[in-house]
Structures are given as structure tokens and as C-alpha cells.
Amino acid sequence: MTLLEELLAYVALDDADRTRLRALHERLAPSFPAIANLFYDAINASPGARSVLHGPAQIARLHGTLVDWMSTGLLGPYDDRFYEKRSRIGRRHVVIGLEHQYMFAAMNTLRTAYHDQIIVLYPSDQALAVMRSVNKLLDVELAIMVQHYHLDSEERLIARERTIQGDRILALQTMSAGLAHELRNPLNAAKLQLELLERRLRKQSDEPRLLEPAELAQSEIQRLTNLLGDFLAFARPSELNPERHDVAAIVRHVVELERLGAERKGAKLEVIDSPRELHADIDAPKMHQILHNLVRNSVEAVPAGGHIAVGLVSHPTSFKLRVEDDGPGIPDAVRQRIFEPFFSTKEGGTGLGMSIVHSLVTLHGGVIELDTSPRGTRFDVSIPVRS
């Protein structure tokens, strides 16, 4: 059942109502221009509503649109075209910046105008039934507009948050690139000097107490070098080099690489819902890193006996990678910051893994979505298919 069908059933708008509304149209149509004038007089009386309008020319166009809206509302039919026109009004209110409370006030203005005319046009024993039919229709109209107002507002909010996240990441990438550049040369010099020192010590003595400090320093420098590699991967993601590759093969390869780590935890890692082959123009190393980071995170998240499923689904214009686990889920406070650079809940973590994933997905023109609960976590990565 569609939303429109559900709403019509909910208000019980039946054949008798439709007959009354069509009959009302014949009597009320001559008054549509006057009702539209009342509607825009009410808007002009409200500073908040008036502020989104831009002069007489726009009001004249909207006046004609409102007359058509009243006509099609009473005549029907209540089909897909009717639904699309009403949903477009809700989306349009978001575009022009009209707050949703004005939709309720505007609908009340029309409802009152209809009722005033019905009282004049109908005998008292018929007027109430016609008013009830009008109320059902206007309630359906308002429900559709509000539904799409909220949907469009939410989409715009998500888009705005993604833009803000992208700007924040760009600023941090610039900072990280500068920091990595300053660290790389002295770190390489220190590593080289330690190697020379270790060789000299080995020539002079095999005493472990003399070699252990140098070996420990080498280990820590290697750790810093790996950290610096993460910084550079985040700060300077190379340009996309798309070539024709089998995405399904990459999925299987990553899962095989990570299966041993899952088995060590007593967890099960498997590929599900994946075609044997799925060829697309992608940057294979970057796609490998995206999937590797997501799978590694899920393996680390699940307890012994846990399960991680990796899926790949093809769509006409995109393909979707899914990594899903039955771990404890991600707390809300962490979820809100999971793609932030340098944010980590892991001991010794750099906080760059998920930021790199987000950056590489964006580089492919894709989006990454997260769904989590105490029953588990799912990441969906949608990548458009390049023509």
C-alpha cells in the first residue's frame, strides 16, 4: 500500500466524499481567485512567511498555482500525479526556506475559506457532510506535504553535514601534510644513525644489554614510521586512477587475508550475497584499503563466537559493499565522531583508519552509511559505476 492509499484509508475518504468534493468544485470554482487572494493576504500579514516571497511577479505565479491546486484537489483523481504534485509543494517549501509551521497556518486559512463558502452555498442539513469531506481531503494534502517537507529537510541536513565534514577533513589534511613533512626527514635520519650504532655495537660485543636499547629504539622508530605512513595516506590521498577491475575478486582477497585474524578470536568471517564477478572502473588499491579497514574494524569489534559478513551487490548505476557484524554496536557518542580524523577509542590507535575510508570513498564519488545497534553494526559503501 502506498502512502497516499494509506492516508485515504486512514481518513476514510470514500466514494460519497469524492462525489461531494466534485460537486463542490462546480459551485466553488468561481470563488477560487478570491480564496487565493485571502491566502496571500494572510501570508503578507505574517513577517516570517512574507520574507520568503520576492515581489508581485512571484506572487502572481503562485496565485495561479494555488487556483490549480484547489481545482485538482476537489476534482481528483487521487492518483500518483496528485501525490507527486502535493509532495512537490512540501519540497518547494524547503527550497524557498518557508518554515513548516506556516504550512499548517496556510492550510487553516484555506479550510476556513472553504467552510465559509460552503455555509453560503449549501443548506444547513448538507453543509456539515460537505465540510467533513473537505476536512478529510485537506488532512491528506497536509500529511503529504509535511512528509516530504521533513524528508527533503533531512536530506539537506545530511548533505550539509557531509560538506562540513569534508571541509574539516580538508583542513586537517593540510595540517597533517605539513606535520608529516617536518617529521619525515629527522625520523629517517634518526633511523639511519641507530642502524649505524647497532652495527658498531654488534662488531664490538654480542652483549644483549648493550643491544636491547638500540633494538627497542629501532622498534619505536618503526612504529612512528608506520604512524607517519597513516598521516600521509590521510593527508595526501593520491589522485584516483580508475581501471577495469573485478570488485568481487578484491572482496574475496581481503576476506582471505583477514580470515586468520578472525579465527584467532574464535569469530567467523565469510562472503555472502556476492556475484562471482563484478567488473567496474575503480582504483583497486584504494578499494582494497577501504574494504580492509572496514573488515579489520569488524573483526576487532566482535567477541569470540562472533560473525562478520561481507557482501557485494550490483545496481544499474552503482555497486554496494556491505560489512556487517554482530558485535556490541557503536555507542552514540562514538558514532557521531567515527569519521573524524584522530578520533579513536582503541589503545594506541591513530584515529585515521575510518577517516581514510571516508576520504577514499568520497574520492570514488561514493557515500558510506553506518547503521548500528546493540545487536551489531553495518557499513554500506555505495560506489557509482563509471561510464
Considering only residues 150 and 198, tell me which one the structure prediction assigns the higher pLDDT. Answer: 198
Q: Would you state the pLDDT for residue 147?
A: 74
Name which of 44-48, 142-146, 276-280 the model is least confident about: 44-48
Name which of 98-112, 212-226, 251-265, 300-314 the model is least confident about: 98-112
Same domain membership, residue 345 and residue 252: yes
Q: Count the Cβ atoms, other than its own, within 10 Å of residue 264.
A: 10
**Where a domain ends, among 160, 181, 211?**
160
Query: Does residue 63 belong to any structural domain of this protein?
Result: yes
Same domain membership, residue 213 and residue 259: no
Same domain membership, residue 138 and residue 101: yes
Are 250 and 288 in contact by the 8 Å Cβ rule? The answer is: yes
Same domain membership, residue 298 and residue 247: yes
Q: Would you state the pLDDT for residue 234?
A: 64
Mean pLDDT value across residues 44-59: 65
Query: Does residue 118 belong to any structural domain of this protein?
Result: yes
Q: Considering the chain, what percentage of its residues have pLDDT values greater than 70?
A: 77
Query: Does residue 311 belong to any structural domain of this protein?
Result: yes
Query: Does residue 166 belong to any structural domain of this protein?
Result: no
Name which of 65-74, 336-345, 372-381 the model is least confident about: 336-345
Which letter, b or e, does each residue of 373-386 get, where b requires 16 or more Cβ atoms within 10 Å of its Cβ? eeebbbbbbbbeee
Q: Would you state the pLDDT for residue 180?
A: 67
Same domain membership, residue 306 and residue 278: yes
Q: Would you state the pLDDT for residue 69?
A: 81
Mean pLDDT value across residues 270-284: 90
Query: Does residue 326 belong to any structural domain of this protein?
Result: yes
**Where a domain ends, among 160, 185, 212?**
160
Report residue 269's pLDDT band, with 50, 70 and 90 as the boundaries: very high
Same domain membership, residue 32 and residue 80: yes
Helix (H, G, I), strand (E, B) or coil at 345: coil
Q: Would you state the pLDDT for residue 94?
A: 43
CATH number of the domain bearing residue 153: 1.10.490.10
**Where a domain ends, among 210, 235, 260?**
235
Same domain membership, residue 133 and residue 213: no
Print the domain residue range for 141: 3-160
Same domain membership, residue 80 and residue 62: yes
Query: Does residue 249 belong to any structural domain of this protein?
Result: yes
Its pTM stands at 0.48
Computed over every residue of the chain, the mean pLDDT equals 81
Q: Is the pLDDT of residue 196 over 90?
A: no
Q: Would you state the pLDDT for residue 95?
A: 43
Same domain membership, residue 263 and residue 338: yes
Mean pLDDT value across residues 345-359: 73
Structural domain tally of the chain? 3
pLDDT per residue as tens digits for the range 7-36: 889 899 999 999 999 999 999 999 988 888
Same domain membership, residue 325 and residue 293: yes
pLDDT per residue as tens digits for the range 90-133: 445 444 444 556 566 677 888 898 899 999 999 988 999 999 99
Q: Would you state the pLDDT for residue 159?
A: 56
Query: Does residue 379 belong to any structural domain of this protein?
Result: yes
At 27, list the grid cell: 459551485
- Dihedral of the alpha carbons of 283, 286, 292, 295, in degrees to the nearest 10: -80
Report residue 386's pLDDT band, with 50, 70 and 90 as the boundaries: low
The three-state DSSP-derived secondary structure of 195-248 is: HHHHHHHHHHCCCHHHHHHHHHHHHHHHHHHHHHHHHHHHHCCCCCCCEEEEHH
Same domain membership, residue 151 and residue 16: yes
Query: Does residue 165 belong to any structural domain of this protein?
Result: no
Considering only residues 234 and 371, tell me which one the structure prediction assigns the higher pLDDT. Answer: 371
Same domain membership, residue 94 and residue 177: no
